[in-house]
């Protein structure tokens, strides 16, 4: 807990998944939590969960792709609690489909939410951090900020951009040692974002196994508020993919398509739809979405593929050194 008393933390994307889990965890520690997402109805449910855990809560319905709305969010947080100790950027939307099949408006909205939503947050909160002399900005990135795969062009574009943006902020804030910028990079996480994704591929999708529990990511975020670090990777197995991507990019490019088609694209046909890209889900949301409960058989296959890709990368690297 902060020496300043109760932590004051703004959490965007607080309606489901990682954001909702972070809000609950912080409330359980007695923090003052400012909840932001597009759906006021869902945020009200999250607020009750946080209050039951002992936190004080402010609900501010916010579309983070609207910079003016994010400025209002920051002002209301300071106006209610007097300061902001940390800001957690967890808002994101997702689509699945070939780039050529993804509508331009969908591509832009995903980048506006998943990248510019975090840019707007930084622009809104950094002056407050500077004025009070401290603050932690946590950007929830993704290992898709270091690698890529077919069908997720707008999300990968946003996450690669977020990684660079966070790095620039750290460089520019060297004159403010009390301010930290942390990037949390999870792999595939068991959250509703896959169910909420826009779909232009014509088949049902699922996260690429092995799927990390949202609790692990939540714990990493909460720990980063106490002990800020530059980058935190969550999901050991997915690191193999990031390593292979950097070490043998040609091999990675050839392998990733078949891997995604085998393990993330299901046979069930679905009609094209925009998911929650433009509007929040009207149904109740949660922290997790139950993917891990059905992964026992497919997990072994995915681990075998990951191990094989890693071993092949080692062989290719060794052969390259001999030459």
Q: What is the DSSP string of 100-167?
A: GGS-HHHHHHHHHHHTHHHHHHHHHHHHHHHHHT-EEEEEE--GGGT---TT-HHHHHHHHHHHHHHH
Say yes or no to pLDDT of 14 above 70.
yes
Q: Tens of pLDDT along 182-197?
A: 999 999 999 999 999 9
Say yes or no to pLDDT of 215 above 60.
yes
Say yes or no to pLDDT of 313 above 50.
no
Question: Residue 316 has what pLDDT?
Answer: 45
Q: Tens of pLDDT along 19-68?
A: 999 999 999 999 999 999 999 999 999 999 999 999 999 999 999 999 99
Q: What is the DSSP string of 53-118?
A: TT-EEEE----TT-HHHHHHHHHHHHHHHS--SEEEE-----EES-GGGS-HHHHHHHHHHHTHHH
Q: Tens of pLDDT along 125-182?
A: 999 999 999 999 999 999 999 999 999 999 999 999 999 999 999 999 999 999 999 9
310 against 17, higher pLDDT: 17
Q: Tens of pLDDT along 79-94?
A: 999 999 999 999 999 9
The predicted model gives 299-313 an average pLDDT of: 47
- Catalytically active residues, by annotation: 155
Question: Residue 244 has what pLDDT?
Answer: 76
Distance CA 160, CA 171 (A): 17
Band of residue 268 on the pLDDT scale cut at 50, 70, 90? confident
CB 92 within 8 A of CB 109: no
The predicted model gives 259-283 an average pLDDT of: 92
State phi, psi for 202 to the nearest 5 degrees.
Answer: 85, 0
With tokens 């965890």, the residue in question is 25
Say yes or no to pLDDT of 322 above 60.
no
Say yes or no to pLDDT of 237 above 70.
no
Question: Residue 77 has what pLDDT?
Answer: 98
Say yes or no to pLDDT of 113 above 90.
yes
Q: What percent of the chain has pLDDT over 90?
A: 77
CATH number of the domain located at residue range(s) 8-322 in this protein: 3.40.50.720
């Amino acid at each position: 807990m902060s020496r300043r008393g109760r932590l004051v933390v703004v959490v965007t994307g607080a309606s489901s998944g990682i954001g909702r889990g972070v809000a609950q965890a912080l409330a359980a520690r007695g923090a003052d939590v400012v909840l932001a997402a597009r759906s006021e109805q869902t945020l009200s449910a999250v607020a009750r969960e946080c209050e039951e855990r002992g936190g004080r809560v402010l609900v501010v319905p916010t579309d983070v792709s609207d910079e003016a709305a994010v400025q209002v969010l920051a002002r209301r947080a300071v106006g209610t609690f007097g300061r902001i100790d940390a800001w957690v950027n967890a808002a994101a939307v997702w689509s699945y489909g070939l780039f050529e099949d993804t509508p331009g408006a969908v591509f832009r909205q995903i980048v506006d939410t998943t990248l510019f939503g975090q840019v707007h947050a930084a622009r809104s909160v950094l002056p407050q951090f500077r004025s009070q002399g401290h603050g932690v900005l946590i950007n929830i990135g993704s290992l898709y900020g270091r690698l890529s795969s077919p069908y997720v062009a707008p999300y990968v574009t946003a996450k690669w951009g977020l990684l660079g943006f966070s790095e620039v902020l750290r460089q520019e804030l060297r004159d403010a040692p009390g301010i930290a910028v942390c990037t949390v990079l999870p792999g595939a996480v068991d959250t509703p974002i896959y169910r909420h994704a826009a779909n232009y591929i014509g088949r049902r999708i699922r996260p690429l196994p092995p799927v990390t529990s949202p609790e692990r990511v939540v714990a990493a975020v909460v720990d980063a508020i106490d002990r800020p670090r530059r980058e935190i990777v969550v999901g050991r197995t997915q690191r193999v993919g990031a390593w292979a991507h950097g070490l043998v990019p040609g091999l990675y490019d050839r392998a990733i398509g078949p891997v995604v088609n085998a393990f993330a694209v299901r046979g069930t046909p679905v009609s094209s739809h925009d998911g929650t890209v433009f509007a929040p889900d009207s149904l109740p949301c949660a922290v997790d979405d139950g993917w891990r409960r059905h992964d026992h058989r497919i997990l072994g296959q995915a681990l075998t593929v990951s191990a094989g890709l890693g071993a092949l990368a080692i062989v290719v690297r060794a052969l390259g050194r001999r030459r």
